[in-house]
A and B are shown apart, each in its own frame.
Chain A
Amino acid sequence: MSDPLRAHIEIAATAADQFMNVYYNLHDTKREFLGRLYRDSSAILWNGNAYSGVKPFSEFIEKLPKSEHTVECYDAHPLPTADPNGAASLILNVSGTVQYKNEKSKRVFSQCFVLSMEGTSGTFYIWSDCFRFV
């Protein structure tokens, strides 16, 4: 594999790692702030249900029982940009387990994010999100 690609993948993995920690931490401990990672243009699929807009998705997600996610593994690639404004993008695949407070056993999940950087802010927002129980 080419060295530049390897370097790009490592950078993507580091950015992905940081994003992932923020995401699941918010989901598990400060759910009311999770919506800030999305935009109204975000394409969201949650276990087969499509959500359009931050508000409807936030309303749904806040009703879920308290969660505790354990990430088992993740992979990231840089992507030629998804954003029409030309910002950097990456695709992140996460798999792991999640324990909901009202359930006896953990569930296995798989989640695919496409992240895009907002201008020069250095922060990522979620361009698309696809979550599934496995």
Chain B
Amino acid sequence: MAEATAIAQQFTEYYYSTFDTNRSGLQPLYRETSVLTWEGAAIQGGKAIVDKLVSLPFTSVQHRVSTQDAQPVGDMLVIAVTGQLLIDGEQNPQFFTQTFVLRRDDAGFYVQNDFFRLVYG
């Protein structure tokens, strides 16, 4: 469990810092079989996923992770994240929840499933 937490921590740090500086750099984290459900819309495959992320209509974004929980499930690792998003220098953060399912292949860890939702109070 401690190992799961350590992997999750490294992964989310890398993921969000890459997202916040250069979204196209996320592509190696996905595979052809990866599926992202972004605000309810399902997208499959690394290229389509990254195209979607790159096309999101903001200039700058900053993720701040509030909580992350990691649980091994079979040969996968489920990471549930909650946090805040600061978009285009806005002072008022939006809240988000994101879940990653990580798997491993010869090239290392990758995102098999990804879910992103903005959360409203």
Among B12-20, B21-29, B37-45, the stretch in contact with A: B37-45
Closest CB in chain B relative to A72 CB, distance in Å: 7
Residues of B60-77 at the interface with A, using a CB-CB cut-off of 8 Å, are 66-67, 69, 71-74, 76
Chain A residues, CB < 8 A from B76:
79-80, 82
- CB proximity to B under 8 Å, residues A16-35: none
In the complex, the answer to whether B115 meets A93 with C-beta atoms within 8 Å is yes
Residues of B within 8 A of A97 (CB): 121
Contact between chains at A132 and B37 (CB < 8 Å):
no
Q: Which of A64-85 contact B (CB under 8 A)?
A: 72-73, 75, 77, 79-84
B120 interface residue (CB < 8 Å to A): yes
**How many residues from B make CB contacts under 8 Å with A?**
31
Interface contact A132-B42, CB-CB below 8 Å: no
- Distance in Å: Cβ of A111 to nearest Cβ of chain B: 9
Partner of B43, one of A1, A93, A110, A128: A1
| B37: A residues at CB distance < 8 A | 75, 77
Known: A79-B101, A93-B115. A128 touches B121 (CB 8 A): no
| Chain B residues touching A, majority SS | strand
Interface string of B73-89 (1 = CB under 8 A from A): 11010101010000000
- In the complex, B9 has a CB within 8 A of chain A: no
Flag if A5 contacts B113 (CB, 8 Å).
Answer: no
Q: Is A91 an interface residue (CB 8 A)?
A: yes
Distance between Cα atoms of A6 and B42 in the complex (Å): 8
Q: Which residues of A contact B (CB under 8 A)?
A: 1-2, 5-6, 9, 43, 45, 48, 50, 72-73, 75, 77, 79-84, 91, 93, 95, 97, 106, 108, 110, 112, 114, 127-128, 130, 132, 134
11 contacts between A and B (CB under 8 A): A77-B37, A77-B115, A80-B112, A81-B74, A84-B74, A91-B113, A93-B99, A95-B97, A127-B73, A130-B69, A134-B95
Chain B residues near A (Cβ < 8 Å): 1, 35, 37, 40, 42-45, 48, 66-67, 69, 71-74, 76, 78, 80, 82, 95, 97, 99, 101, 112-113, 115, 117, 119-121
